[in-house]
């Protein structure tokens, strides 16, 4: 029996890009279930930190935010400068005293 050649190439077939496998999906679901039960304890801990050290409270709160609030993404310029000229806003209705922002 000889080997058969296939026309399969890397990146073809299988799961679509970005789709997690079953084990990863199950692990995330289990983690979320566990974490949902911890919300009261997290709230209690944050309240204690707030009462003891408000600066530390803000630090911990800021550390949690990226997990719940999406970051803004520039979808118009791919991170490149759009132009090098300042934006001019005419605060005086067309007078010669324009203000650069």
Structure tokens at 77: 């310029």
Domain ranges of the chain: 20-75
Burial (CB count <10 Å: 0-12, 13-18, 19+), residue 19: exposed
Structure tokens at 19: 């789709």
Q: What is the pTM of this model?
A: 0.46
Give the C-alpha separation, 28 to 13, whole Å: 24
Q: How much is the pLDDT for 70?
A: 77
| Interior angle at CA 81, CA 77 and CA 85, nearest 5 | 130
Instruction: Provide the residue-wise pLDDT of the chain in tens; the chain has 101 residues.
Output: 555 556 667 767 777 777 888 898 999 999 999 988 998 999 999 999 999 999 999 999 999 888 888 777 666 666 666 666 666 777 776 555 444 44
């Amino acid at each position: 029996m000889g080997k058969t050649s296939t026309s399969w190439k890397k990146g073809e077939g299988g799961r679509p890009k970005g789709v997690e496998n079953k084990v990863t999906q199950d692990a995330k679901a289990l983690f979320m279930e566990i974490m949902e039960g911890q919300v009261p304890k997290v709230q209690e801990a944050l309240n204690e930190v707030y009462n003891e050290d408000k600066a530390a409270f803000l630090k911990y709160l800021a550390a949690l935010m990226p997990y719940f609030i999406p970051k803004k993404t520039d979808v118009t310029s791919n991170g490149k400068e759009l132009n090098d000229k300042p934006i001019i806003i005419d605060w005086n209705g067309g007078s010669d005293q324009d203000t650069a922002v």
